[in-house]
Structure 1
Amino acid sequence: MSEKRKKVADQYDRDYDYTKYWDNRDYEHAAEEIAIRRLLDGQRFAAAADIGGGFGRLSLLLREYADRVTLAEPSRTQLEAAAKLLEGTDIAQVQMQADDLKFEDGELDLITMVRVMHHLPAPADEFAEIARVLRPGGTAIIEVANLGHFKNRRKYKKLGQPLPTEPVSIRTAPVDEPDAIAFVNHNIDTVVGQLSEAGLQLSDKLSVSNLRSQTLKKYLPIGVMTTVEKLAQRPLAGRDFGPSIFLKLRRR
């Protein structure tokens, strides 16, 4: 990779407390943990990295499956929050961007990147870096904000239009900075093709957060929602049903 940083990834340092985002999102967090546990069940890894892992909410889970875990996060304020959450653990916390990873070639055998792709309209550099630092045969789990979820497929069908193959912006707030953080949804088939070009071969996928709805969360206990989520993730994966798709990949 060029030493010149191509993308700015420090927007979460700009007076934004991402930990507050997870207030009242216990279901979404649980759904993501369910997916990772399912995709890693029975496996053990030597070295793992949680790429763009924020304040480390999933890093603790990775430590159950890997002997060494690094939280790789570009935001200084996120790392400050992670220091509190991960205090007393042996999880390393290092400031770095996904397009400029501070690992040696083939150093890792497990990588997760969750809730990062919706900030990456053009993820080729990030995919290349993941492939570089992952050993041949290593595993990557990449979560993708899904353009083709159930509601969108109905919308585009009603409009008589095909599902876009390129990322689509879902930003609702006006852009107030020249390098304001992107918010996009991706076509899953397009992303799988990009990953394959980088040397990362799809081996499994799950549809995640299938019950993401403020109305459902208002009336259904979280235990009911997570039970349904466990049952639904694999059957709905083939239809790319949910708003979040978890891709399990193998480094060729």
Structure 2
Amino acid sequence: MTKQADFYDAPAHDYLRYWDGRDYENASEQAAIRRLLHGRRFGHAADIGGGYGRLCVLLQEFADQVTLAEPSSRQLDIAATFLADHPRIEHRRMQADALAFEDGSLDLLTMIRVMHHLPEPGGEFAEIGRVLRPGGTAVIEVANLAHARNRVRYLLRGQRIPHLPVDIRSPENRHDEEIAFVNHNPHTVIEQLARAGLRAERVLSVSNLRSTTLKKVLSHRVHLAAEVACQQVLARTFFGPSVFLLLRKD
């Protein structure tokens, strides 16, 4: 399957508007990143596959220099407007498996909501290992195949959670020419990252309370507070639909 950004270049796909009504999800992810990076300061940080720069402003809280590394020209066009008030954030077009950074040049790398497009992420992990300096930090989000509801589904079928990625699109929405959309077994991903020299130091379970009903009955403040309280507690069980990994390059 293609790893190119054609899907996100299409005029019909407005990733900026995608986040309308997803304040909980956005805030949950930002809370996780802040928790993982709390008290730390970096030189050069890059957000890989960062779209229009949604998380780049947050990264400025932790890094002296921030680069948005995004393969879609359309998303970079949107970023030019979205990040207009942040002229120090650099925008560069590149693929996650061919990063245009020198070896060991990054102190911090984030890759959020990218893994669900990568059925075979070995090339991307090798690139992350290449561009991070020794001792450098990465925060990678994993689209989690082993989340709680899935474990119940597989248990009722008498099956184990698959070791390999699973395409989660419905058959009627699955076309060979489209970009991949997969969920990963986090145990497998942690093993793959270790082979690339990236050691998992901390895990958070994220978007644990993602629910249309809860969004209606809880205020955003209460909903988010409950989410933040759950992220560390539920991490060991990979409860939520997203798993955030804090990694260190050996």
TM bucket (normalised to shorter chain) is over 0.9
Instruction: Write the distance in 2 (CA, Å) between the matches of 1:221 and 1:98.
Output: 37
Shift of 1:225: 0.8
- Matches of 2:42 and 2:236 in 1, distance apart? 28
By how many angstroms is 1:31 displaced?
A: 0.2
Q: Which residue is 1:11 aligned to? A: 7
Question: Which has the higher mean CA deviation after the structures are superposed, 58-67 or 178-187?
Answer: 178-187
Number of the residue aligned with 1:68: 65
CA contact (8 A) 1:8 1:179 kept: no
Q: Report the Cα distance in structure 2 between the residues aligned to 1:217 and 1:170, rounded to whole angstroms.
A: 24
| AA matched with 1:50 | D
Contact 2:52 2:82 in 1 (8 A): yes
Aligned residues: 246
Letter in 2 for 1:228: A
Matches within 5 A, 1:79-228: 79-89=76-86, 90-172=88-170, 174-176=173-175, 178-228=176-226
* Distance in 2 of aligned mates of 1:7 and 1:186: 16
Normalised by the size of structure 2, how large is the TM-score?
0.96
State the match for 2:41 in structure 1: 44
Distance 1:22 1:197 in 2: 34
Q: How does 1:24-35 map to 2 (within 5 A)?
A: 24-35=21-32
Question: Does the Cα contact within 8 Å between 1:49 and 1:110 map onto a contact in 2?
Answer: yes
Report SS of the residue matched to 1:140: strand
Query: What SS does structure 1 have at the residue aligned with 2:92?
Result: strand
Amino acid at match of 1:14: A
CA RMSD after TM alignment:
1.1
Other structure's SS at 2:17 match: helix
Q: Distance in 1 between matches of 2:196 and 2:90?
A: 27
Counterpart CA distance in 2 for 1:77 and 1:186 is 27
Say whether the 8 Å CA contact 2:3–2:179 is kept in structure 1. Answer: no
Instruction: Measure, in 1, the Cα distance between the counterparts of 2:35 and 2:3.
Output: 33
Structure 2: which amino acid aligns with 1:72? A
Unaligned runs of 5+ in 2: none
Q: CA separation in 1, counterparts of 2:219 and 2:114?
A: 28
The letter for the 2-side match of 1:174 is N
Cross-structure match for 1:56: 53
The whole-number CA distance in structure 1 between the counterparts of 2:158 and 2:3 is 36
**Identity within the alignment, %:** 59
In the TM superposition, what is the alpha-carbon distance from 1:9 to its structure 2 partner? 2.9
Please list every run of 5 or more consecutive structure 1 residues that lacks an aligned counterpart in the other structure: 1-5
Contact 1:50 1:111 in 2 (8 A): yes
**C-alpha separation in 2, matches of 1:21 and 1:185:** 20
